């Protein structure tokens, strides 16, 4: 409920920041607030002050021994090509020229990281309760590319395929294609926070109708990193 912001001015903003930090807002209001935080430094500062103000409540969270998922996190993070150091920018141009000239040599590739760093600005984790299947999605705005990788569960049963869907505010699923078993990259012009990604089980080759025909197995909202 963001209605008081206009008429209450800064006091309304301070209250909204408090509600955001407390966590009581709806998803739509949380996402709208998160979007404002990116460009409104005063609001970001108010929010940070509230985060620190209430931080002593964190003592009440009892630690629970965590499962060791570090290797999975590292796999997800470090299998992505590393962000290249700046000094390789020159190489990038040079490599680009070589590629254009059809002269790219494998030795160069192994010695110098190609400046293809994938820099995700949005992510989603697609899950469902009681469902071992998990997909991790990330989106690079600059490259307009969506990456999706299965991080839990097994391949689809014989004769079936997993199909990826994008569901925006209209509620009508749009197919982004059938998922193979490896890391999948697909060009995608735009992806916004709040959009839901979902995976359904379809006949091999994907749904023939343009809409999901099998069960939706997992889904998750897209959020800013």
Give residues in contact with other proteins (CB under 8 A): 1, 14-15, 18-19, 22-27, 30, 48, 51-67, 69-70, 72-74, 76-78, 82-83, 120, 123, 125, 127, 129-130, 134, 136, 151-152, 196, 220-221, 223, 225
User: Which CB sits closer to other proteins, 53 or 205?
Assistant: 53
Minimum distance from CB of 220 to other proteins (Å)?
Answer: 7
The C-alpha atoms of residue 168 and residue 194 are separated, in whole angstroms, by 8
Minimum distance from CB of 203 to other proteins (Å)?
Answer: 26
Minimum distance from CB of 41 to other proteins (Å)?
Answer: 13
Helices (H), 102-196: 106-111
What are the tokens at 18? 């408090």
User: Which CB sits closer to other proteins, 9 or 97?
Assistant: 9
Minimum distance from CB of 31 to other proteins (Å)?
Answer: 8
Sort residue 210 into left (φ over 0), alpha (ψ -120 to 50) or beta: left
Instruction: Please report which helix (H) or strand (E) contains residue 17, including its range.
Output: helix 4-22
The C-alpha atoms of residue 50 and residue 8 are separated, in whole angstroms, by 18
Residues in the chain: 225
Minimum distance from CB of 23 to other proteins (Å)?
Answer: 4
Instruction: Please report which helix (H) or strand (E) contains residue 184, including its range.
Output: strand 184-187
Question: Which of 215, 218, 177 lies closest to 196, judged by CA?
Answer: 218
User: Which CB sits closer to other proteins, 13 or 206?
Assistant: 13
User: Which CB sits closer to other proteins, 43 or 206?
Assistant: 43
User: Which CB sits closer to other proteins, 83 or 97?
Assistant: 83
The C-alpha atoms of residue 140 and residue 122 are separated, in whole angstroms, by 7
């Amino acid at each position: 409920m963001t209605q008081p912001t206009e008429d209450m001015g800064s006091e309304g903003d301070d209250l909204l920041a408090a509600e955001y930090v407390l966590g009581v807002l709806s998803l739509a209001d949380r996402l709208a607030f998160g979007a404002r935080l990116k460009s409104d430094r005063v609001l970001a500062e108010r929010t940070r002050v509230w985060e620190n103000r209430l931080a002593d409540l964190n003592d009440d969270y009892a630690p629970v021994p965590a499962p060791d998922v570090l290797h999975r996190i590292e796999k997800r993070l470090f299998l992505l090509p590393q962000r290249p150091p700046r000094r390789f920018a020159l190489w990038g141009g040079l490599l680009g020229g070589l590629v254009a000239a059809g002269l790219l040599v494998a030795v160069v590739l192994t010695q110098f990281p190609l400046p293809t760093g994938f820099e995700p600005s949005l992510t989603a984790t697609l899950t469902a309760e009681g469902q071992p299947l998990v997909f991790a999605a990330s989106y690079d705005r600059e490259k307009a590319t969506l990456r999706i990788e299965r991080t839990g569960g097994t391949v689809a049963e014989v004769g079936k395929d997993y199909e990826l869907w994008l569901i925006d505010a209209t509620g009508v699923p749009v197919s982004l294609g059938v998922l193979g078993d490896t890391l999948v990259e697909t060009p995608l012009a735009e992806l916004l926070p709040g959009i839901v990604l979902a995976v359904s089980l379809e006949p091999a080759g994907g749904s023939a109708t343009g809409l999901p025909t099998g069960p939706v197995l997992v889904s998750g909202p897209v959020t800013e990193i």
